[in-house]
Amino acid sequence: MRFSERQGIIKAKDALQLDSMDDGLRSGLWNAITLFYFDRTGAYIHESGYKTLFNNLWHNFFKLPLDTMDNWADTTKLQIRKWFFKWNWYEVYDFIEYITKIESPTNSDRFVEFCNKVLERDRSGYRFINGIIAPITSEVEVKEIDKAINSSSNAKLVGVKTHLENALRMLSDKESPDYRNSIKESISAVESISKVLSSGSKHSLGSALDKIKGKIKLHPALEKGFKQIYGYTSDSDGIRHALMEVSTCDFEDAKYMLVSCSAFINYLTVKADKSGLLK
C-alpha cells in the first residue's frame, strides 16, 4: 500500500477518473483500438477493408484533406497515435465513441465490451451505454464521498473516517479491487456514526435511529427510508447476505453503496452538529 493510501490522502476524485485520464487508462484504450482496428488493417489502407474507416476519420473527425493521409498504414497509424497521446481526456473519449459508428469489418460490440473492461479496470467515471460514452459517476457523487471523509475528522467520528477510507481504497484498487469488502466498509461507516450519535456501541442501525431521531429532528419518512435501505446490515440471512456474495458484487454495487452511505453520513453529521451532538 502506498504512503498516500495509508495516510488517507487519496481522494475520491483521484480514485474515480472524471475530468482526467491517467497513463494506464489512456494506454488501455489505445490498446483496444490497436487490437480491434489497427492490427487488422494490413499494409496499405486503400487495399484493406478499413479504407472507409480511415477516409471517414480523415474527412469527418480530423477534418483534413484526404490527400494528406498516407496510404502506408503504419505511417497513418503512427500519426493518429501521436495525436491520441496528446489529446485532452475528453478528446480521447470523442475518438473512442466515434470510431464505433463507422462501418468496418470490426465487431464494434466486442470492441465496446473490451473498452468497458478497461474503463472499469482503471476506475474511469464513464462507460459505453447504448452506444455512447456516458457518466456513471457524477461530480456531485464524488463530492459527497470527499465531504463525508473530511467531515469525519471529528475525534468522535474516527471510526467513520477509517471505514470510508477503507471502502474507497478497496473500490479504487486497480490491481485487485475488493468490491465485497468495500460494501461492508461503507455500511460499517453508517453503523459507526449511528452508534456514536445514539451513545450506544451495541445498537443496531435501526435502534440507533430510534434513539437519535428526536435529537436531530429526523423526518419520519426519511427515517423509514433509511431503515429500509440500511436495515438489512445486521441481517445475515437477508439482503446483505445475498449482496455480500462475491459473484454478485460489481463496481457499480460498491460505488452505489459508498456514495449512498457518504450522503447519509453527511446528512446525519450536519443534523448532529446543529443539535450539538458532536461537541
With bands split at pLDDT 50, 70 and 90, how would you rate the model's confidence at 121?
confident
CA dihedral defined by 42, 43, 49, 53, rounded to 10 degrees?
Answer: 100
- pLDDT cut 70: percent of the chain above it: 83
Report d(CA 77, CA 240) in Å as an integer. Answer: 50
Q: With contact defined as beta carbons under 8 Å apart, do 197 and 268 qualify?
A: yes
Confidence of residue 81 (pLDDT cuts 50, 70, 90): very high
Q: Which residue has the cell 470510508?
A: 164
pLDDT value at 139 more than 70: yes
For residue 79, pLDDT over 50 is answered with yes
**Considering the chain, what is the average pLDDT of its residues?**
82
Classified as helix, coil or strand, 127 is strand
**Candidate ranges 12-21, 144-153, 157-166, 269-278; pick with highest mean pLDDT:** 157-166
pLDDT reading at 105 higher than 90? yes
Cell matching residue 221: 419518512
Distance CA 269, CA 152 (A): 8
Among 58-62, 166-170, 274-278, the least confident range: 274-278
Q: Does residue 115 have a pLDDT over 90?
A: yes
Q: Tens digit of pLDDT for each residue in 84-100?
A: 999 999 999 999 999 99
pLDDT, tens only, 194-205: 888 887 666 666
What's residue 246's pLDDT?
52
Highest mean pLDDT among 19-28, 176-185, 237-246: 19-28
Whether 185 and 170 have beta carbons less than 8 Å apart is answered as yes
Residue of 113 and 202 predicted with greater confidence: 113
- Give the DSSP letter string of 31-78: HHHHHHTGGGS-SBGGGSTTHHHHHHIIIIIS---GGGS-SBHHHHHH
pLDDT band at residue 73 using 50, 70 and 90 as cut-offs = very high
pLDDT in tens, 242-265: 555 555 677 888 888 888 889 889
What pLDDT sits at residue 176? Answer: 78
By the 8 A CB rule, do 203 and 211 touch?
Answer: yes
Q: Which residue has the higher pLDDT, 84 or 237?
A: 84
Nearest CA among 192, 210, 212 for reference residue 201: 192
